[in-house]
Structure 1
Amino acid sequence: MTEDTFPAATVPMRWVGPVKISGNVAEGLIEVPLATYESPLWPSVGRGAKISTLCDRGIVATLLDERMTRSVLLEADDAGTALAAARQLHAELPRLRGIVAECSRFANLIELHHQIVGNLLFLRFEFTTGDASGHNMATLAADALLGYIIDAVPGVRYGSISGNFCTDKKASAVNGILGRGKNVVTEILIPREIVEQRLHTTAHRVAEINVRKNLIGTTLAGGIRSANAHYANMLLGVYLATGQDAANIVEGSQGITHAEDRDGDLYFSCALPNLIVGTVGNGKSLDFVEANLTRLGCRETREPGGNARRLAVITAAAVLCGELSLLAAQTNPGELMRTHLRFERSAEKDGASERAHRNS
C-alpha cells in the first residue's frame, strides 16, 4: 500500500450556523463545520448559533494569549546545581531566543519556567508559532536549546526531550495557569425574551444549573480546571473538520462556563485557555481541510498567525453555541432525551435513504 492509497475514515460533516461573531480577531456571520457521529450536535449548536444572530453583538470572542510549549528534562548533580542552572538560563533568555531564531523561521521563544524535584530540572519553554499549532516546531526548538544547555551549563545532563511539564494531551493544571495554545474567552448577552422564547428557560435557571452541575458537580468528580458540560463535543467536531490533532481536545476541553442572571437577561461565557489549533502543518493539505479552511476565511490573513487566531475564535464561538443549548435543555425535564431521540432517528432515516439511493 502506497502513501497515496491509505484508507480513510469517513465522518459525517455539516455546516452549522451562521454564528454572529465580534471581538478582537473576527467579525461577521460565519458558518462552522462540525464532523461528528453525534448527529444531535448539529441542531444543538445550530440553536445556539441562531440565538447569536438575534443578539446585539452576537458572540464576543476575545483572544487573550497564545503560546505553544515543550518541556525538557535535565539531570543535575544535585538540587543546588539544578537551581544554579535554572538561574543561569533565565539570565541568558536573550541568548536562548537567538538559538531558537537560528533553527526556525516562525518559532519565537517568549517565556521559560522551571521546576526542580530532587536533582531533576524540568524546563518549560513557551513559544509563539505563527499559523501552526506548533507541536513539532516547539520540539525542534527545544531540541536545539537542549543541545546548547548541555554544552554550556555545568553539572547538567540529558534526561528527555519531553518531561511532561508541557503538558501535551493530558489533563493538568499547568496549562490553565501558564497557558498552552490559544486562550479565548467568548461571551454573549441574551435578552430575557429570547431566553424564554428560543431556549424555553430563564436566565436564573441557566445560571443556577451552571453552578450546581458545572461547578459543584465537577468539583465532586475531581475535575482539573474544568467546569463545563461538553466542550469536547464541539472541539472534536471542528478539529476533525479542519485537520487538527484531535487528541488535543483533552486539554482543550479544560475550560470554565460562567453564567449570570442580569435582571432577566442571560450573560453566558465560555473560557477556553488551552485551544490548540493551526492552519498549516500536518493534515492541512488534505483537499477537504483546505476547502473548509478557505470557506472559514482562514486562508485570507497575511498577518503572521492571523489565520490560526481566526480559527481559534470561530472554534470557541461554536463551543459556546453548543454549551448554551445543552445547559438550557437540561433546565427542562425530559427535553434532552426527547431531542436526542428525535434527531438521531431523523439522521438514521437520512442515512438509510442515502444508502438506498446509492444502491439503486
Structure 2
Amino acid sequence: MTADEPEQLFAPVPLRWLGPIRIGGNVFQGEQEVPLATYETTLWPSVRRGAHVSTLVEGGIQCTLIDERMTRSVLFECGTAAAAYEAAQRITASEEQLAQVVTETSRFAKLIRINTEIVGNLLFVRFEFTTGDAAGHNMVTLASEKLMDAILRDQPTLHYGSISGNLCTDKKTSAVNGIWGRGKNVVAEILIPKELLERRLRTTAHEMEQLNIRKNLVGGTVAGSLRSANAHYANMLLGFYLATGQDAANIVEGSQGITHAENRNGDLYFSCTIPNLIVGSVGNGKGLSLITENLERLGCREEAHAGENARKLAVLCAATVLCGELSLMAAQTNPGELMAAHVKFERESK
C-alpha cells in the first residue's frame, strides 16, 4: 500500500458452518457442511433444520446442473433498422470466426452462442460464454470488447453504442436470463416421506403443496413477480455468496427462481429451480484468506478440469437454498411458528 492509498477496511458479517447436507446428482455426491455469512441469525437454525432432514432421506437432495453460461450484451448504433438487420445476419453468420477472437483473448472463455435484438436503429448483440471456474464478469466483458472491435472493423454500417446494452442482464430483474440463461442453472429436489415430514417439520405434504400454490404462485403473481415464485431464496444466496467471495449483487437475478411442491400420496416432492446462479471459485474476492479457507473446506479449490470447482459450488449453493426454503415453508404452515422462532433465537443471540 502506498502513502496515498486508503486503508483497506472490512465489514464484519457473522458466519457459521451448517450441516452437513446430503447431496446427490450429476455434479457432486456426498455430505458437505456449508458456510453462511448473515446478520439474520435465525437463518442458521432454519437452514440447519433443512440440512438435517436431507441426511435422513435416501439420496438426500438431488441436484442437477442443467446449463451454464455467462453473458454480456453490447449495443451498436445503425442508420436504419434495415441496416441493423443486415448487420445482425452477418454477425450471426460469422460466429465461428468470432469464437476464434475469444480464444485468442482468453485461455478460459469460450463463445458458445450469439443472440440479437433490434429496436429501431439499435442493434443489441448478446454474447454467451463458458468461463471455467470463474464467475466471469470481467472475462466476458473483455472478450466482448474484443468482439466489438472485430465487428466494427468488418461492419462499416455499425457504430459503437455501449459495451453493455442491458440485454445481459446483469444484477437486474428480467425475463431474458430465465429464457436464454445466465450463470449456472441448477434444480435441487427432494422426496420426503410422510412420517419424516410430520415428525421433523411438523407439517404435511398437502399443507406444503397448498401453501406453495397460494403463497408463491398466486401471491407472487398478484405481486407482479417476474419469473419468480419462491419464499426467500435471496436469504440463502446472500449468505452463501458472502461466505464464498461472490459478487453479492448477483442475488438480484439469482433469486429469480421457482419453488415446486407436490403431494405424492402423503410424501412430499419439493424442488427449487434456480436458473441464474452466478458463482465462481477463482477471481475477484477469492484471494482473501477466510474466503480461500472456506472454498478449500468446501472442496472447491481442487486440481480439476476447468469449471468443475464452480459447478460443485453452484450445486452446494442450490442445496443450501432448498434447505432454507423447505424449513421456512414448513414453518409457515403452522400459525405463530415463524415469529416464535425469530423471538427465541434473536433473544438467545443477545
TM score, norm. by length of structure 1:
0.96
CA distance in 1, matches of 2:340, 2:136: 42
Q: Which residue of 2 aligns with 1:138?
A: 140
One-letter amino acid of the counterpart of residue 88, structure 1: R
Q: Which residue of 1 aligns with 2:13?
A: 11
1:92-125: CA deviation from partner (whole Å, max 9, x where unpaired): 0000000000111100000000100000000000
Q: Tell me, what secondary structure is at the counterpart of 1:302?
A: coil
Q: Tell me, what secondary structure is at the counterpart of 1:111?
A: strand
CA contact (8 A) 1:85 1:154 kept: no
Does residue 1:335 correspond to 2:337, yes or no?
Answer: yes
Judged with a 3 Å threshold, the aligned counterparts in structure 2 of structure 1 residues 50 and 4 are, in CA distance, closer, same or farther, namely farther
CA distance in 1, matches of 2:275, 2:164: 22
TM score, norm. by length of structure 2:
0.98
CA distance in 2, matches of 1:301, 1:343: 40
CA contact (8 A) 1:169 1:251 kept: yes
Does residue 1:178 correspond to 2:180, yes or no?
Answer: yes
% identical aligned pairs? 66
Q: Which residue of 2 aligns with 1:128?
A: 130
Q: Which residue of 1 aligns with 2:163?
A: 161
Aligned-pair CA distance for 1:7: 1.3
Structure 2 runs not aligned, ≥5 long: none
Q: Which of these residues, 298, 301, 313, is aligned with residue 300 of structure 2?
A: 298
Structure 1 range deviating more: 299-308 or 92-101? 299-308
Q: Which residue of 2 aligns with 1:210?
A: 212
Q: Which of these residues, 45, 53, 56, is aligned with residue 55 of structure 2?
A: 53
Give the 5 Å matches for 1:184-203. Answer: 184-203=186-205
CA distance in 2, matches of 1:345, 1:139: 46
CA distance in 1, matches of 2:9, 2:105: 35
Does residue 1:320 correspond to 2:308, yes or no?
Answer: no
CA distance in 1, matches of 2:20, 2:84: 53
Judged with a 3 Å threshold, the aligned counterparts in structure 2 of structure 1 residues 46 and 132 are, in CA distance, closer, same or farther, namely same
Structure 1 runs not aligned, ≥5 long: 349-360
Q: Which residue of 1 aligns with 2:24?
A: 22
CA distance in 2, matches of 1:4, 1:62: 44
Does residue 1:41 correspond to 2:39, yes or no?
Answer: no
Aligned-pair CA distance for 1:291: 0.3
One-letter amino acid of the counterpart of residue 118, structure 1: G
Q: Which residue of 2 aligns with 1:223?
A: 225
Q: Which residue of 1 aligns with 2:282?
A: 280
One-letter amino acid of the counterpart of residue 200, structure 2: R
Measured on the aligned residues, the alpha-carbon RMSD in Å equals 0.9
Aligned-pair CA distance for 1:4: 8.7
Q: Which of these residues, 101, 104, 121, is aligned with residue 99 of structure 1?
A: 101
Q: Which residue of 2 aligns with 1:270?
A: 272
Q: Which of these residues, 101, 104, 117, is aligned with residue 115 of structure 1?
A: 117
One-letter amino acid of the counterpart of residue 20, structure 1: R
Q: Tell me, what secondary structure is at the counterpart of 1:328?
A: helix
Q: Which residue of 1 aligns with 2:248?
A: 246
Q: Which residue of 2 aligns with 1:79?
A: 81
One-letter amino acid of the counterpart of residue 292, structure 2: E
